[in-house]
Amino acid sequence: MALTQIDHIDAEMDNCINDCFEATQACEWCADQCAEKGEGMARCIRLCRDVADLASMHARFMARNSNYDSELAEACAGACEECAAECSQHDHDHCQVCADVLEDCAESCRRMMA
């Protein structure tokens, strides 16, 4: 069965699922790179790990048409915004990329809340 046949996933939800998976990847990469940088990156690492878990969970809950989707959308959007603000303070390329990806994810999640 092609994924396009899943009747509860519209274009907006599909976009949010993709944004959440991109956020998961960016955050895992950023956290790993920040761990190598060492001191002063603990908050960035912690927030990236939180977002990676929330974003992947939110994507999975949307795919299964969970009743808890809107609550996770709100939590994911908030975590993405906080993490993006933290990442944007660091000059590392991985932090800047992560911040950009998280801004898109937060916006998608906010749309899913509506």
- Say if 85 falls within a structural domain: yes
* pLDDT for 2: 46
How many domains, the chain?
Answer: 1
* pLDDT for 9: 79
* pLDDT for 10: 84
- Say if 44 falls within a structural domain: yes
What's the pLDDT tens digit per position in 34-48? Answer: 999 877 899 999 999
Give dist(CA 47, CA 79) in Å, integer: 7
Alpha carbon 104 to its chain centroid, in Å, reads 9
93-113 and 69-87 are packed helices; what angle lies between their axes, rounded to 10 degrees? 150
- Say if 45 falls within a structural domain: yes
pLDDT > 70 in the chain, percent: 95
What's the pLDDT tens digit per position in 59-97? Answer: 999 999 888 988 999 999 999 999 999 999 999 999 999
- Say if 3 falls within a structural domain: no
Q: What is the pTM of this model?
A: 0.91
Give dist(CA 16, CA 31) in Å, integer: 22
- Say if 51 falls within a structural domain: yes
CATH of residue 86's domain is 1.20.1270.360
- Say if 1 falls within a structural domain: no
Alpha carbon 64 to its chain centroid, in Å, reads 18
Domain that holds residue 63: 10-113
